[in-house]
Chain A
Amino acid sequence: MINLVRNEMLKLLRKKRLYVIVLIIAFLVPLFTYAQFKTIQEQREKLGAQDWRTALQQEITDTQNRLSSSRLQDEWRKYLKIRLSQQQYYLENDIDPRAPGAPTFMRVFVENSIDLLLPLLVMVIVADLVSSEASGGTIKLLLTRPVKRWRILLSKYLAMLLSVSFIVLSVAVLSYLISGVVFGYGGWNMPLLTGFAVSGDELLTENVHIVPQWQYILMEFGLVWYVCVIVGTLTFMLSVLLRSTAAVMGIMLAALIAGAILVNMVSSWESAKYFFMVNLNLTNYVSGMATPIEGMSLGFSMAVLAVWGIAGFIIAFVTFSKRDIY
């Protein structure tokens, strides 16, 4: 089995996809770093060299002013209200949620890329894992070996898991190293609040507790990894079902982007919460943002994702073992 996985990893490396992914990340991170740097700089210019409390207070009043505007969508109003009470809570506990530093950048970056960027990167790797063998014809050579079919597929699946871990790791390492050049490498022990719960447009704080930033980041990366594995599994299933890599990519791409759009407009369509792509934003539960649909929680979203993942896994294995190869 180990040899089979090794073989698959070798194929993956040969295709140079992993390097491309790493290059993409290495190219994107400086962009975001620069954008973030500009924002901070502009804020400083606007407010003078003031401490973060003043800036945060200013932001809170700005939000209050927006809330008092009558031309505001209900959705957006709810979101603003929750963020407002959260910021207020941070302020009252004397914690700066955005103290600049490489770990903070890492955290913000991964929170923003969990629902689209990272799944896309994973998709690029996984999409042709099986389908390329089918379209290239090499699948026949592979299946004539005296190895059970499910073991071959399992080795591919394990290779997929490993490469997902690798991608997430490279995001972590690259975003830390590159942004640290600008923001400095410190800030791992900064306290952050987690455990906010949202009910309606109220922010419940009875479960709120403090965790150091390094633990917070580790938790978030755990969730990111989970999301990537699920997306990977679904792509993997499509890759088994379809012979054309382009089709696999197209379908996944459509699903992911549809998810990103749906999140912004499904709040009244309640059963949409069973779609996997609406549930990708797991880190939002840790940081305490408004959920896209009433009644979603971390446990719920993870369960929905797990169901989709397991179903995809089973379909992939059953189809692959039963299918006629010609």
Chain B
Amino acid sequence: MKKYTLTLVSFVSIAASLLWLFGLGWTFQDQFSANKKFDQPKVKTDSVTSKQDDALSIFALGDSLTRGTGDADGNGYTGYLSDLLKKKSEQEITLVNTAVKGETSSGLLKQMKQSEIQRQAKQADVIVMTIGGNDLFQQGAALESLNMDTINSQKQLYLTNVKKIYEQLRAQNEEAVIYHVGLYNPFSNLPDAKTTSSIVRDWNFQTAEMAANFENIIYVPTFDLFQLQVENYLYTDQFHPNTEGYKLIAERVASLITFEQEGNES
């Protein structure tokens, strides 16, 4: 018995040694021979659009507001939105959030080029987005100096970008309603509130005008939500909404979405 085990173990070990040596040799051959051409794998992307028809899929994109920066639970308005919709419609909701903190309209436009983002946009029933906050506020710097020239040139750039974003979303998905959540003025309790508010209002107005050129793109105002008692709805950075603020936004968007759904069904 002992002898038998010994022979067995020895032979297994020898075989294993040869196998691993072979693997090592193959590694050399594979990793160090440089001129291999990478043949694109067969494209099978579209066959797997695993869209569950019974579920309502929300696709969220944009900047830190969509990401949920400032919310204690990290849900953001998208999280509360899908909670609200789940309760109201008793439907399965899938939420895909590709928002990136600090994203500007140019950054989002770049992100839209990724094939996976396009695929998600194609599958979505509802698209929600926030963009523009970083273009305008530049993390709080622009509005403090209140230089109208910079703000105007930013606005032009932003508007052309937004137009392209709308066009690309529409090109991917003709049906989904797009909710573009607007800007509020986080500085409305500061001394310069009059000026800053008028800048934000103008910014919102121009974006809403742009959205009106497209079908089913709804610009959701949030300016009024934060107009009074802004400090109660802001996170400690005095810029992003806190949990309460996000809930306000979510409620507003949610009411629009259910309305749309019922409208479609009847």
Query: What residues of chain A have their CB less than 8 Å away from a CB belonging to chain B?
Result: 6, 9-10, 13, 18, 47-51, 53-54, 56-58, 60-61, 64-65, 68-69, 88, 91-95, 161-163, 165-166, 168-169, 191, 194-195, 205, 207-211, 215, 218-226, 285-286, 298-299
Query: What residues of chain B have their CB less than 8 Å away from a CB belonging to chain A?
Result: 2, 5-6, 9-10, 12-14, 16-17, 19-27, 30-32, 34, 36-41, 43-45, 48, 50, 52, 55, 67, 92, 94, 96-102, 114-117, 119-120
C-alpha spacing A91/B115, complex, angstroms: 8
**Which secondary structure characterizes the binding site on chain A?**
helix
C-alpha spacing A201/B137, complex, angstroms: 30
**Which secondary structure characterizes the binding site on chain B?**
helix
* CB–CB A18/B101 < 8 A: no
Knowing A65-B67, A162-B17 are in contact, say whether A51-B48 is a contact too (CB < 8 A): yes
* CB–CB A210/B41 < 8 A: yes
Q: Could you say which residues of chain A place their CB within 8 Å of the CB of B117?
A: 57
* CB–CB A58/B12 < 8 A: no
C-alpha spacing A225/B25, complex, angstroms: 12
Closest partner residue, chain B, to A2 (CB atom): B10
Q: Could you say which residues of chain B place their CB within 8 Å of the CB of A65?
A: 67, 99-101
**B74 to nearest A CB, angstroms?**
10
* CB–CB A222/B23 < 8 A: yes
C-alpha spacing A53/B46, complex, angstroms: 12
Q: Could you say which residues of chain B place their CB within 8 Å of the CB of A49?
A: 52
Q: Could you say which residues of chain A place their CB within 8 Å of the CB of B17?
A: 161-162, 165, 225
C-alpha spacing A285/B31, complex, angstroms: 9
Q: Could you say which residues of chain B place their CB within 8 Å of the CB of A210?
A: 38-39, 41
Q: Could you say which residues of chain B place their CB within 8 Å of the CB of A57?
A: 96, 98, 116-117, 120
C-alpha spacing A64/B66, complex, angstroms: 14
* CB–CB B102/A68 < 8 A: yes
C-alpha spacing A60/B5, complex, angstroms: 51
* CB–CB A162/B10 < 8 A: yes
Knowing A222-B23, A222-B26 are in contact, say whether A61-B97 is a contact too (CB < 8 A): yes
C-alpha spacing A286/B19, complex, angstroms: 18
* CB–CB B45/A94 < 8 A: yes
Name the one of A54, A163, A195, A223 contacting B36, with C-beta atoms under 8 angstroms.
A195
Closest partner residue, chain B, to A70 (CB atom): B102
* Given A57-B120, A162-B17, A219-B27: 10 more A-B contacts, CB < 8 Å: A69-B101, A165-B16, A166-B9, A195-B36, A210-B39, A215-B26, A218-B26, A220-B27, A222-B22, A225-B23
Name the one of B24, B40, B67, B92 contacting A48, with C-beta atoms under 8 angstroms.
B92
C-alpha spacing A224/B24, complex, angstroms: 9
C-alpha spacing A48/B102, complex, angstroms: 27
* CB–CB B23/A299 < 8 A: no
* CB–CB B45/A169 < 8 A: no
Name the one of B31, B37, B48 contacting A298, with C-beta atoms under 8 angstroms.
B31
**B217 to nearest A CB, angstroms?**
23
